[in-house]
């Protein structure tokens, strides 16, 4: 019942639990001369376009396509609203390929109707560092759904990745397709409970009043940990060492160098926030936490149009207790006027979620690898990778 995915080099349902299959690439690379040189065919009314995200007008078009047509929750109450700044940051990464930012336009009107992107990444799976593409922002305009456009877009991004001699990919989705490497749970920590309840993001608990709820989620005005401060450019080497050492513990994790850390973790207003703990005694960097900014449009509410959400990104605690470090992250997010702080149960996050009054959401996130088999599905805590 997956006419497309059955044809792709991904783990198939019939093979789940078969531990005799070898771990690693499902099919070998083909000589580059054998990779299809021309783009796949689109329905006659549409054409391929490469989206130059550093070009303001194109960035605006992508932003609007996603704002109006990207991911919604299961009751269609909220839709992700990635900012233009965020999209440029997420896509124009060290070593990126412009032609992996793929759009589809209507031939007549030139209107952008679909999008898919890849960015290069080195991902370690067990002991092997593999060059991969991270695929994200797959979107087909609501009026063009269920016409099998998505498989053509996936094949086209695959072709362009192959032309760079890269044969594996990593991606996440809220839907189940063949076959997840891991299934993770979203957790949510209310920062502005009144607004969350007013817009239907959360509900007043049984035997709870609004004022008791507000009190329950109250946070201190300032952070607790001494030496806690915003990350700066001069911290890149120390943060890279801290992070690389931490990410070694997981089965799947990015292999980050200083350039990557500068791009992905140096604070960037309204995009990514990072903090660290510098020991007041010896100035050692011992702990790190970060979150990215991803608002959602609130669909059909009279009083509010956007939900300001922070998403937990990479966190490392070596001296400070993890829950204390993350409570300081919550305090910073509250100071910055976020309504909610979201986190997945990946890495060591289970160690703070319950203590800090996060509750499980109604959404899950499935992680996938393309053309790479792993012996058995992973626990969320074995994943050291967060995709945007
Ligand atoms: S997940 C977010 C995906 N986007 C959205 O949910 C936005 C709202 N929805 C839409 O725009 C993050 C459409 O519903 C989309 C599907 C475009 C999702 N991943 O065209 P058809 C990512 O961006 C399969 C993969 O008729 P549609 C990650 C579906 O199972 N496949 O559907 C992206 C079916 O195949 P099957 C998905 O509703 C990773 C076929 O598409 C999928 O008009 C991409 C139906 O196509 C999803 N999220 O459009 C894979 N949703 O076999 C990358 C549906 O079941 C792989 N489908 O019949 C690696 C590539 C690179 C390799 C390099 C070596
Ligand atoms: C690729 N990078 O469903 C990403 N979000 O729980 C694409 N639920 O916000 C894949 N339905 O539970 C994305 N409130 C897949 C996720 C798609 C979006 C999604 C879920 C994640 C979500 C909220 C709102 C539900 C609205 C009705 C939710 C409960 C919060 C409550 C706070 C207090 C403590 C208990 C939990």
What average pLDDT does this structure show over 331-335?
98
Q: Does domain 5-175 have CATH number 3.30.1130.10?
A: no
Phi then psi for residue 33, to 5 deg, are -65, -20
Please report how the helices 56-69 and 84-91 are oriented relative to each other, as an axis angle in degrees rounded to 10: 110
Bridge partners (DSSP) of residue 366 are: 173, 183
Burial class, 321, CB count within 10 angstroms (exposed 0-12 / middle 13-18 / buried 19+): middle
Give 102-127 pLDDT, tens digit per residue. 999 999 999 999 999 999 999 999 99
Is the CB of residue 387 below 6 angstroms from any atom belonging to ligand 2? yes
* Cα-to-centroid distance, 269 and ligand 2 (Å): 24
pLDDT at residue number 50: 98
pLDDT at residue number 253: 98
Give 175-190 pLDDT, tens digit per residue. 999 999 999 999 999 9
Instruction: Please state, in angstroms and rounded to a whole number, the distance separating the CA atoms of residues 263 and 292.
Output: 13
Going by pLDDT thresholds of 50, 70 and 90, the confidence category of residue 219 is very high
CA-closest candidate to residue 118, choices 97, 131, 135: 135
The sign of the torsion formed by the CA atoms of 265, 100, 297, 359 equals: negative
pLDDT at residue number 36: 98
Instruction: Please state, in angstroms and rounded to a whole number, the distance separating the CA atoms of residues 150 and 3.
Output: 12
- For the chain, give the percent of residues with pLDDT over 70: 100
pLDDT at residue number 303: 95
Residues with catalytic annotation? Answer: 388
Closest atom, ligand 1, to C-alpha of 162? 64
Give 17-48 pLDDT, tens digit per residue. 998 999 999 999 999 999 999 999 999 999 99
Instruction: Please state, in angstroms and rounded to a whole number, the distance separating the CA atoms of residues 377 and 172.
Output: 14
Q: What angle do CA 142, 158, 376 make, to 5 degrees?
A: 95
For residue 121 the two structure tokens come to: 């990444």
Reduce the DSSP state of residue 301 to 3 states and report it.
coil
Ligand nearest to the CA of 365: 2
DSSP 268: B
Going by pLDDT thresholds of 50, 70 and 90, the confidence category of residue 1 is very high
What average pLDDT does this structure show over 328-351?
98
For residue 257 the two structure tokens come to: 């160098």
For 183-382, give the CATH class.
alpha beta
What average pLDDT does this structure show over 365-375?
97
Going by pLDDT thresholds of 50, 70 and 90, the confidence category of residue 365 is very high
Cβ–Cβ < 8 Å for 311, 292: yes
Domain ranges of the chain: 5-175, 183-382
CA-closest candidate to residue 310, choices 329, 287, 288: 329
What average pLDDT does this structure show over 313-321?
98
Instruction: Please state, in angstroms and rounded to a whole number, the distance separating the CA atoms of residues 289 and 315.
Output: 4
DSSP 119: E
Give 3-23 pLDDT, tens digit per residue. 999 999 999 999 999 989 999
212: CB partners within 8 A, 6+ apart: none
pLDDT at residue number 82: 98
Do the domains spanning 5-175 and 183-382 agree at the CATH topology level?
yes
pLDDT at residue number 273: 98
For residue 317 the two structure tokens come to: 């605690």
ipTM surpassing 0.85: yes
Mean pLDDT, all residues of the chain: 98
Q: Over the Cα atoms of the chain, what is R_g?
A: 21
> Nearest residue CA, atom 16 of ligand 1?
150
pLDDT at residue number 383: 98
DSSP string covering 157-221 = HHHHHHTTT--EEEEEESS--S--SEEEEEEEEESSHHHHHHTTSS-PPTT--HHHHHHHT---S
pLDDT at residue number 173: 98
Pocket of ligand 1 (CB under 6 A): 2-5, 69-71, 133, 135-140, 145-151, 154, 157-158, 161, 167-169, 171-173, 175, 177, 370-371
Is the CB of residue 73 below 6 angstroms from any atom belonging to ligand 2? yes
Is the CB of residue 188 below 6 angstroms from any atom belonging to ligand 2? yes
Closest atom, ligand 2, to C-alpha of 309? 9
Per DSSP, helices labelled H in 266-337 are 322-335
């Amino acid at each position: 019942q997956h006419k497309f995915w059955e044809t792709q080099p991904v783990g198939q349902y019939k093979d789940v639990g078969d531990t005799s299959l070898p771990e690693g690439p499902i099919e070998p690379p083909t000589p580059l001369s054998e990779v299809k040189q021309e783009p796949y065919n689109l329905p006659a009314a549409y054409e391929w376009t490469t989206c130059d995200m550093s070009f303001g007008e194109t960035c605006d078009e992508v932003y609007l396509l996603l704002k109006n047509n990207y991911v919604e929750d299961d009751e269609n109450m909220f839709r992700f609203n990635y900012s233009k700044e965020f999209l440029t940051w997420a896509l124009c990464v060290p070593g990126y390929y412009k032609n992996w930012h793929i759009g589809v336009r209507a031939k007549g009107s030139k209107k952008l109707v679909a999008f898919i992107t890849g960015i290069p990444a080195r991902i370690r799976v067990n002991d092997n560092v593999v060059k991969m593409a991270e695929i994200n922002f797959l979107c087909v305009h609501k009026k063009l759904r269920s016409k099998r456009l998505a498989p053509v877009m996936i094949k086209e991004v695959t072709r362009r990745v192959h032309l760079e001699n890269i044969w594996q990919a990593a991606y996440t989705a809220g839907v189940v397709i063949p076959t997840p490497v891991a299934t993770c749970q979203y957790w949510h920590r209310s920062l502005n409970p009144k607004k969350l309840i007013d817009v239907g993001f959360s509900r007043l608990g049984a035997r709870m009043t609004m004022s008791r709820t507000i009190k329950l989620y109250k946070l201190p005005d300032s952070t607790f940990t001494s030496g806690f401060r915003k990350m700066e450019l001069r911290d890149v080497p120390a943060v890279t060492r801290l992070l690389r050492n931490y990410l070694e513990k997981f089965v799947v994790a990015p292999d980050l160098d200083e350039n990557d850390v500068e791009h992905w973790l140096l604070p960037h207003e309204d995009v990514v926030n990072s903090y660290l703990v510098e020991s007041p005694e010896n100035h050692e960097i011992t702990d790190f936490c970060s979150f990215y900014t991803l608002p959602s449009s609130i669909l059909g509410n009279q009083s509010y149009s956007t939900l300001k959400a922070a998403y937990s990104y990479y966190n490392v605690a070596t001296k400070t207790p993890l829950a204390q470090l993350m409570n300081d992250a919550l305090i910073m997010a509250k100071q910055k006027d976020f309504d909610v702080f979201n986190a997945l149960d990946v890495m060591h996050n289970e160690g703070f979620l319950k203590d800090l009054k996060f509750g499980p959401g109604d959404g899950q996130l499935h992680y996938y690898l393309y053309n790479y088999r792993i012996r058995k599905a992973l626990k969320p805590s074995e994943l050291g990778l967060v995709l945007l």
